[in-house]
Structure 1
Amino acid sequence: MEGKAKKGVFHRIGGALWDCLDYPPEQRRIILKLDLTIVLWGSLSSFIKYLDKSNLSNAYNSGMKEYLGIKGNELNYANTGYNIASIIFGLPCAYLMNRYNTRWFILTIEVLWSIITFCFVSIKTPLQMIVLRTILGIVECGHFSAFVFLIGTYYNKREAARRQVILQAFTVLGPMFATYIQAGASSSLDGTDGLDGWQWTFLIDGIVSVFVIICQVIFIPDILDRIKPNRFFSEADIQWLRTRRPPIKHETKPETRWGVIKEQLSWLKQWRVWAFWGFGVCQDIISLSNQSTQFWLKGWNKIKPGSYTVAQFNTLTSPMYAISFMCSVLFGWTSDTWLRGRRWPGIIAAGVWSFAIMLALAIIPVYGSKPVRFFLYYNTDVGQAASGLYWCYSQELFSHNIREAAFVAGGINVCAYIANSIVNNIWFKTANQPYVQTGHYISAVFGLFYIAIALALGLTEKKYVAKFQIGSEKESDEESISAEESTTSQDEGSSKKKDYGVVEISRSQQTEQK
């Protein structure tokens, strides 16, 4: 690789906007290829998944309720079925995405959920809705964690948060654009070819999903530990990417099935594993308050008939997702740059803001001031905006063992779905919306837990990471995020293949080449 290049103002500004812009040309080319093959298509894939996932609520409020004759809490039952399926299959998926080809694992579940999306067009009864939604939970539960795992194997501490929050931000854009698609389908396609507007929404989503899957077959690689030279990455590219790994001791893979079980049981004894799963619980419960928005808008029509149209029920929720998207970007960029790779301060900021918003939602009258209520509802997803940070954090903190990193990633969603199934069905019942003050109080409490977990991890991080470092007890912050270390050095030390190709690099013999 090329040697050190002088860094002017342009390179410093470029590096702040997108890190690899101040790398030497050859290295910049490799990182940009990663961005275009993994981050771009992973983000679009997550966009489609959350587009599909959020369309049930949009369809419910746009005619599906009346078409199927949905009563009481049947919508809650459908979402609970999704959550229970995700709970049961979440950790098995975490094992599969590490044990087998991660690329084909992702593509397989995307094909299956696209088929299910098309099936929603033809449902006739609430029971069919509940069954399909439950099956969707089975095939979708491992998707996001698989992409987090995939991205985590390639990028260093200076780069990772921005990629992870972009991936997470597209999970916010999915529901945002779903509102526009549903509004457009309801106003322009309703009745076309014998299909209602909500049916056209599922049909459009399925068609877009197929396009994204075809592109992913071409572009997405397997994880760095298993990738082989291909049309996009040469052997030299792959070897350079592997030299960017931090100098840590990698855990060896158990040789027997009992050894695998003992290893997984040992992970369950670590409080940090439960801490990251706790992040998933907190974020999911905090975000439950956002679903009150559409019900609140519909409630105004009972107070003053004609206040809002069906299209407005969908479009007036979009600023909530836009705010979450902007906060995601802000958290990611500040974490990688100004905060020098620290993830926990951004999570604390999100927790503090979420606590204040949820407390206000619980205290202020539901049908009081419209502007105030809009402001509060629009800020209910700030907690979710920080989720990209803890997903990224989980892969960095457990980078010494990719099996444990996958295990933690899979468990985050499992615990989130457990919390959702309990809290959503007791304190956020559809029949009670938008009068769910107790639910908002509970969300506020979990905003405080969000803060406490981030503090605990942040204050003990250096000591924990030092246990796995090679050659020194700790590295300075400058070394851990230095572009010089990651972009201008080349290892001459020997490399050893270990645990699905994990390469352990000795930095004691590094030399800098011009």
Structure 2
Amino acid sequence: MSFPIEKDSQPQSTDVFAKDGTQATIGKWYQWFSPSDTPEERRLIMKLDALIMIFVFLAYWAKVLDSSATSAAYVSGMKEDLKLFGNELNYLNTTYMVGYITLQIPLTVLMTRFSAQYFIPGADLIWGILTLAQYKVTNVHQLYVIRFFIGAAGSLFFPAVQWYLGCWYKRSELSRRGSLFFIASQIGSMSSGYIQSGAYTHLDGRYGIEGWRWLYIICFSCTIPIALFGFIVLPGHPDNCEPFILTRHDIQLARARMAAENREPRKPITLSVIQSVLTGWHFWILVTFAFFFSQADGISSNSGLPLWLKAEGYSVKDINTITTVMPAVTIVASIICGIFSDIYDAKVYLIAVTALLNIFAGVLLAIWKIPSGLKFFAFFLSGSADGIAAVIYAWANEICASNAEERAIVLSSMNTIGNTFGAWLPLFVWKTVDAPRYLIGYNWAIALDVCMLAMLFVLRSYWNRKKKLLQN
């Protein structure tokens, strides 16, 4: 089965690839479109960006606003109000991750049979309602239950969006879109700090509600309108999209672009399809690589910086403000990686440099007894670890381009398997009682980055071999 393509909807030109598979038509780093894009393609891309990218950006921002709210709330009064004096913060993160990984693969695969137009915004509605429920908790056990179901409700979002972007965008466009999507998570983290600071300063005690509880109310108020917006603007998939904001000609052009990319439409999920995916190198190498990547950002994701600042006697307002620098570094790194990945196809180099930078940060923090300025530098530098997320998932989309079901299974498995370990490893590696000097954690992060470098060259070797086979 292939996309139906009307003769007059074929793109007038496509990206040119050299014999070795590298992109031959290269634009400037600041250009949004490929030099080979026709005027019709550019208009289509702008429409897709307006319909898809704006929604997924806002939706991801709202999700991370809630997720990072728990860490912000912990140092802003929740710890004392709910009497959290042990490893409860780790347990809260773990219960969220258990819910997150439980349904991620089946829901992502199920979405391929129906429509992202309804699946993604529908999950957001459930997310918003559960987010609101958190402001009413009176003990940590209630929070455990709610965090579990919030994790389940948000489980399909990240891999589903990565798969969905791969349905509409070419490989030379995916990293930049993936970067824009991903930096919404960092802006959510930054927003959490600023909003929590404002809530703590101006809303604490208003109507008898503590400042940290107000953040959950604010998150709910952001999530619901965004979900409703998604129902209106998201197109379906190219192979079953009905004209609405996109015209019939737009849809035919989108199908032609995907056909030129060897991007196949959806097929029925069968046992033979699943068996084929699970016995291929795509699944095992990409999932193994994703495991090392997903755990290697432990320095930036396990609250080391805010807990160190709290131990040093910084005020709540200062803690919530200073910690926004780390996601700002991630935003800059993600934009740079997305641009250079798309324009120059420099995925291997970008991943390698990022791993080396984070090894350096891990070494500094493992030493620990260093000047405070250098310690700040190490914490902030570790924010670059997630800057390659869009590059890695764009690469997986490219590698699995010819099989829509494989893309769904591999992308969701990459996220699920990595995060499965994230649900319990912090209990042993990133113990809250060891904070702020996570000696085991920092050394663990170094080891993961070293392993990621090794797997990078394994992945590159297999991918180069496959490209040569496709050219023969």
Is 1:266 matched up with 2:276?
yes
Q: CA separation of 1:226/1:174 partners in 2, compared to 1, >3 Å: closer, same or farther?
A: same
Query: Contact 1:331/1:386 (CA < 8 Å) preserved in 2?
Result: yes
For 2:94, the equivalent position in structure 1 comes to: 80
Distance in 2, matches of 1:316 and 1:127, equals: 30
Query: Contact 1:397/1:465 (CA < 8 Å) preserved in 2?
Result: no
For 1:106, the equivalent position in structure 2 comes to: 120
5+ residue gaps in structure 1? 5-11, 302-307, 474-514
Query: Contact 2:170/2:257 (CA < 8 Å) preserved in 1?
Result: yes
Distance in 2, matches of 1:266 and 1:158, equals: 27
Is 1:181 matched up with 2:191?
no
Report deviation, 1:391.
Answer: 0.9
Report deviation, 1:135.
Answer: 0.8
Query: Contact 1:153/1:225 (CA < 8 Å) preserved in 2?
Result: no
Q: CA separation of 1:3/1:73 partners in 2, compared to 1, >3 Å: closer, same or farther?
A: closer
Query: Contact 1:15/1:22 (CA < 8 Å) preserved in 2?
Result: no
Report deviation, 1:250.
Answer: 4.7
Report deviation, 1:59.
Answer: 0.5
For 1:197, the equivalent position in structure 2 comes to: 211
Q: Deviations over 1:183-204 (max 9, x none)?
A: 1111111111111111111111
Query: Contact 1:114/1:210 (CA < 8 Å) preserved in 2?
Result: yes
Distance in 1, matches of 2:266 and 2:131, equals: 41
Find the structure with the greater CA-based Rg: 1
Report deviation, 1:424.
Answer: 0.6
Match of 2:357 among 353, 357, 380: 353
Query: Contact 2:27/2:34 (CA < 8 Å) preserved in 1?
Result: no
Q: Deviations over 1:297-352 (max 9, x none)?
A: 01112xxxxxx111111111111111110000000101111x2x342321122111
Q: Deviations over 1:197-239 (max 9, x none)?
A: 1111111111011121122122111222321221x11111111
Distance in 2, matches of 1:177 and 1:238, equals: 36
Distance in 2, matches of 1:350 and 1:278, equals: 18
For 1:418, the equivalent position in structure 2 comes to: 420
Amino acid corresponding to residue 286 of structure 2 in structure 1: F
Amino acid corresponding to residue 359 of structure 1 in structure 2: V
Query: Contact 1:14/1:22 (CA < 8 Å) preserved in 2?
Result: no
Query: Contact 2:267/2:404 (CA < 8 Å) preserved in 1?
Result: no
Report deviation, 1:22.
Answer: 7.7
Q: What are the within-5 Å matches in structure 2 for residues 312-461 of structure 1?
A: 312-337=318-343, 339=344, 341-365=345-369, 368-461=370-463
Is 1:293 matched up with 2:305?
yes
For 2:290, the equivalent position in structure 1 comes to: 280
Query: Contact 2:204/2:211 (CA < 8 Å) preserved in 1?
Result: yes
Q: CA separation of 1:251/1:180 partners in 2, compared to 1, >3 Å: closer, same or farther?
A: closer
Amino acid corresponding to residue 327 of structure 2 in structure 1: Y
| 3-state DSSP of counterpart to 2:424 | helix
Query: Contact 1:59/1:198 (CA < 8 Å) preserved in 2?
Result: yes
Q: CA separation of 1:13/1:263 partners in 2, compared to 1, >3 Å: closer, same or farther?
A: closer
Amino acid corresponding to residue 300 of structure 1 in structure 2: E
For 2:227, the equivalent position in structure 1 comes to: 213
Report deviation, 1:81.
Answer: 1.0
Report deviation, 1:465.
Answer: 3.8
Match of 1:91 among 93, 99, 105: 105
Q: What are the within-5 Å matches in structure 2 for residues 103-142 of structure 1?
A: 103-142=117-156
Bigger shift: 82-91 or 184-193? 82-91
Report deviation, 1:21.
Answer: 8.4
Report deviation, 1:157.
Answer: 2.0
Amino acid corresponding to residue 460 of structure 2 in structure 1: G
Distance in 2, matches of 1:391 and 1:420, equals: 18
Distance in 2, matches of 1:81 and 1:318, equals: 25
Q: CA separation of 1:381/1:30 partners in 2, compared to 1, >3 Å: closer, same or farther?
A: same
Query: Contact 1:150/1:222 (CA < 8 Å) preserved in 2?
Result: no
Query: Contact 1:286/1:446 (CA < 8 Å) preserved in 2?
Result: yes
Distance in 2, matches of 1:212 and 1:162, equals: 22
For 1:9, the equivalent position in structure 2 comes to: none
Report deviation, 1:144.
Answer: 1.0
Q: Deviations over 1:151-184 (max 9, x none)?
A: 1111112211110111111111111111111111
Amino acid corresponding to residue 299 of structure 1 in structure 2: A
Q: CA separation of 1:83/1:141 partners in 2, compared to 1, >3 Å: closer, same or farther?
A: same
Distance in 2, matches of 1:432 and 1:271, equals: 39
For 1:477, the equivalent position in structure 2 comes to: none
Q: Deviations over 1:357-390 (max 9, x none)?
A: 112211232xx41111111111112121101111
Report deviation, 1:78.
Answer: 1.5
Query: Contact 2:57/2:184 (CA < 8 Å) preserved in 1?
Result: yes
Q: CA separation of 1:239/1:457 partners in 2, compared to 1, >3 Å: closer, same or farther?
A: same
Report deviation, 1:138.
Answer: 0.5
TM-score, length of structure 1 as denominator length: 0.83
Distance in 2, matches of 1:284 and 1:300, equals: 29
Q: CA separation of 1:388/1:322 partners in 2, compared to 1, >3 Å: closer, same or farther?
A: same
Query: Contact 1:286/1:380 (CA < 8 Å) preserved in 2?
Result: no
Q: CA separation of 1:207/1:309 partners in 2, compared to 1, >3 Å: closer, same or farther?
A: same
Is 1:17 matched up with 2:31?
yes
For 1:481, the equivalent position in structure 2 comes to: none
Q: Deviations over 1:26-82 (max 9, x none)?
A: 322111000010112111111111111111010011001111122311221111111
Distance in 1, matches of 2:297 and 2:357, equals: 13
Distance in 2, matches of 1:139 and 1:249, equals: 29
Q: CA separation of 1:247/1:198 partners in 2, compared to 1, >3 Å: closer, same or farther?
A: closer
Q: CA separation of 1:286/1:453 partners in 2, compared to 1, >3 Å: closer, same or farther?
A: same
Distance in 2, matches of 1:408 and 1:347, equals: 19
Report deviation, 1:13.
Answer: 7.3
Amino acid corresponding to residue 389 of structure 1 in structure 2: V
Query: Contact 2:305/2:379 (CA < 8 Å) preserved in 1?
Result: yes
Is 1:39 matched up with 2:53?
yes
Is 1:234 matched up with 2:247?
yes
Query: Contact 2:121/2:228 (CA < 8 Å) preserved in 1?
Result: no
Q: Deviations over 1:72-122 (max 9, x none)?
A: 112211111111122221211221121221221101110011001100110
Q: CA separation of 1:247/1:332 partners in 2, compared to 1, >3 Å: closer, same or farther?
A: closer
Query: Contact 1:359/1:444 (CA < 8 Å) preserved in 2?
Result: yes
Distance in 2, matches of 1:333 and 1:465, equals: 23
Amino acid corresponding to residue 298 of structure 1 in structure 2: K
Query: Contact 2:340/2:346 (CA < 8 Å) preserved in 1?
Result: no
